[in-house]
């Protein structure tokens, strides 16, 4: 299924930025549709990522990906109306290296599912901090294997100690965010979108 551009406004892609600037003014109360999660499939149909609808539309407009499923919303911008995708597929197969995810606060929280890794409390992102398992002051580095989601009380309690020194224990060994982890998260998210199911539960 190719992207449906009802009135072709010339070669797509080149004015994607302008399109979204216009879309910001013409979103018909559907602004959230541009932030909705979209499942990204490799050319082989293997799920490889989740991105925001806005990014997915740019990929479709650039001819890098095609829409496989729509989410029922339209993006009205300039002289075109586009159906907002729910699932897109890359047109060229992309090799996905393991551990390709950027080390960031957001991704650490995603990996740890917003759960304090010491007391198992689940909290909103804003109420969690990152803890260096081996404290920085004692040579710990900022790596996937040494950073975990942590609530403020646990973080204060642990201070500059090793977990064992203060009788704390990690729920599980922190690992790099690999494709397996991403798939697990995509499965969790897929429960809220029926259109993702056939690509995720295989």
Q: Which residues bind Zn ion (CB under 5 A)?
A: 116, 118-119, 151, 154
In the complex with Zn ion, the residue whose CB is nearer, 60 or 148, is 148
In the complex with Zn ion, the residue whose CB is nearer, 127 or 194, is 127
Q: CB of 129: closest distance to Zn ion in angstroms?
A: 10
Nearest Cα residue to 109 out of 91, 123, 93: 123
d(CA 56, CA 48): 13
In the complex with Zn ion, the residue whose CB is nearer, 16 or 171, is 171
The two three-digit tokens of residue 98, written as one number: 């393991």
d(CA 17, CA 121): 41
Q: CB of 157: closest distance to Zn ion in angstroms?
A: 8
Q: CB of 8: closest distance to Zn ion in angstroms?
A: 54
Q: CB of 147: closest distance to Zn ion in angstroms?
A: 15
Backbone angles phi, psi at 112, to 5 degrees: -85, 5
Under 8 Å between Cβ of 20 and 97: no
In the complex with Zn ion, the residue whose CB is nearer, 170 or 188, is 170
């Amino acid at each position: 299924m190719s992207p449906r551009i009802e009135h072709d406004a010339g070669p797509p892609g080149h004015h994607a930025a302008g399109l979204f600037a216009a879309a910001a003014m013409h979103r018909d109360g559907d602004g959230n549709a541009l932030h909705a999660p979209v499942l990204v499939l490799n050319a082989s149909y293997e799920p490889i990522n989740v991105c925001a609808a806005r990014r997915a539309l740019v990929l479709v407009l650039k001819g890098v990906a095609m829409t496989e499923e729509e989410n029922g919303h339209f993006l009205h911008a300039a002289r075109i109306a586009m159906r907002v995708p729910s699932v897109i597929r890359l047109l060229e197969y992309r090799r996905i290296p393991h551990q390709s995810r950027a080390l960031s606060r957001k991704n650490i929280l995603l990996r740890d599912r917003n759960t304090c890794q010491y007391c198992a409390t689940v909290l909103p992102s804003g109420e969690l901090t990152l803890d260096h398992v081996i404290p920085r002051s004692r040579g710990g580095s900022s790596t996937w294997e040494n950073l975990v989601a942590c609530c403020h009380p646990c973080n204060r309690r642990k201070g500059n100690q090793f977990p064992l020194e203060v009788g704390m224990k990690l729920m599980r060994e922190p690992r790099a965010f690999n494709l397996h982890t991403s798939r697990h998260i995509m499965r969790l998210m897929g429960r809220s979108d029926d259109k993702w199911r056939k690509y995720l539960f295989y």
